[in-house]
Amino acid sequence: MALEEQWAEILTQAVIVEREVSFPNFEKMMFESRSIGDIMDGQDLVQEFYVTLLDVVDIDTCIWDITVCRVSFQLSANLLAAYMGMQRPVGAFPAVEILIKSTREEIFSTLQGRDMVVVGSFIRHNEMLPFWRIMHLIFAHDIEPIAHTTQCPIVRGELMLIVARGLVVDLPLYIFMTLRSETKTPSSSGLSYILLLTQFLYMRIERTL
């Protein structure tokens, strides 16, 4: 896929949000000259971030030089860990591969409690066993605010299984590798990590103001 086609693909992707919220009634509520809408509406910023990743010379390196809103900074798993206030575990997934990986059929079967023929890449939230529905509510980025019905990508299901089985996960590295994967092949479910990226990017940008 040509670079111009990748730009177009990313700019047409929806940005996954935790809940749909309308801000018109809150525009007069301000904090340090910024409204709630200004703070939460990070879609354009996130899309610009993903487009910027296409310009990274070597996306497979462990640290990226990025420019968003004319502000240049670096991004890596270590920098994400520092921002999130986390200490990265040693010898954890995904730096260390799982010896026995679950197949798509095994993931679907475990989360739904029955054998089935896998025809897609998503598991419906309301078709999961109660335990996994609660786990998914914790993991999901795009739960609908009332019905709590959403689709679970197979990659998220795999991560839920890994955590439930007691394996240690290097979350900053997992997020970093997800961003790399999204850059190479945009997900049909939309661009991820809007809140994390919006807050991280605002912090980097405001440091230069």
Domain ranges of the chain: 3-90+170-206, 104-164
Cα–Cα dist 111/157, whole Å: 8
Q: Is the pTM of this model over 0.85?
A: no
Burial pattern 162-194, b for ≥16 Cβ within 10 A else e, equals bbeeeeeebbbbbbbebbeebbeebeebebbbb
Contact 198, 191 (CB under 8 A): no
Can you give the pLDDT of all 209 residues of the chain as single tens digits?
677 777 777 777 766 554 444 545 556 666 656 665 665 555 677 888 888 988 888 889 999 999 988 889 999 999 999 998 999 999 999 998 888 788 888 999 999 998 877 777 788 888 899 999 988 888 875 554 444 457 788 888 899 999 898 899 999 999 999 888 888 877 666 677 777 887 888 888 777 66
Cα–Cα dist 66/74, whole Å: 6
Return the closest-CA partner of residue 102 out of 161, 173, 18, 178.
Answer: 161
Residue 202 identity (one-letter amino acid): Y
